[in-house]
Chain A
């Protein structure tokens, strides 16, 4: 199916564990983004990528790692999860940079215990 998918949709992990959230898009969009959504903060950008092998930090990158070896995939890794990383994570893609419409995935709800 065309679109942008995220997996898993729900994840519970323990403090200190490594966890990877997956994002896959079928449009061959150049840009991909990772956001976290927390009450009272709206969406905050974690990392973004302008193309394969090109990534850059957003507003809140600490504790996260990204890679983009293929245009269609943009995984987000929490190397050592902390409780403050409990959040809903959204992946998005767009044809261009921020001025272009971003298409969002359904989100991953992550709980760190």
Chain B
């Protein structure tokens, strides 16, 4: 069965600093990979997704993620964090045959002024 691990429950960064959120997946073939963001009291919004092709994908709000097959990872990055980026971030995976997404447990991001 596919699974997703987000090893960092909570990350704190200063505004303007760079950010990297980790995501590791478990699946035999190339999965479909997603990052979603959840602002307080809101539903989830898609940041970016990877299906195939270029392993570096660009998303909304200045985020990017890199698929590394050898490490089974799909880490999310942003070069300079803004206070409005404070939220919870979820990595998710779907296999080629699965008709559902499997979410990680999330990483809560706090941004210090």
* Chain A positions near chain B (C-beta within 8 angstroms): 4, 33, 35, 40-45, 48, 50, 56, 58-59, 90, 92, 97-99, 101-102, 104-107
Is the CB–CB distance between B42 and A98 below 8 Å?
Answer: no
Cross-chain pairs A/B with CB under 8 angstroms, 24 sampled: A35-B103, A40-B105, A42-B90, A42-B104, A42-B105, A43-B44, A43-B90, A45-B100, A45-B101, A48-B99, A56-B99, A59-B102, A90-B43, A92-B43, A92-B44, A97-B94, A97-B99, A98-B99, A99-B51, A102-B101, A104-B43, A105-B43, A107-B42, A107-B43
Task: Let me know if B32 and A98 touch, CB within 8 A.
Answer: yes
A9 and chain B: residue at smallest CB distance: B41
Q: Which of B6, B51, B98, B100 has the most CB of A within 10 A?
A: B100
Chain B residues positioned under 8 Å from A102 (CB to CB): 44, 46, 101
Taken together as a complex, chains A and B put the C-alpha atoms of A44 and B102 apart, in Å, by 7
Distance A84 CA – B105 CA, assembled complex (angstroms): 18
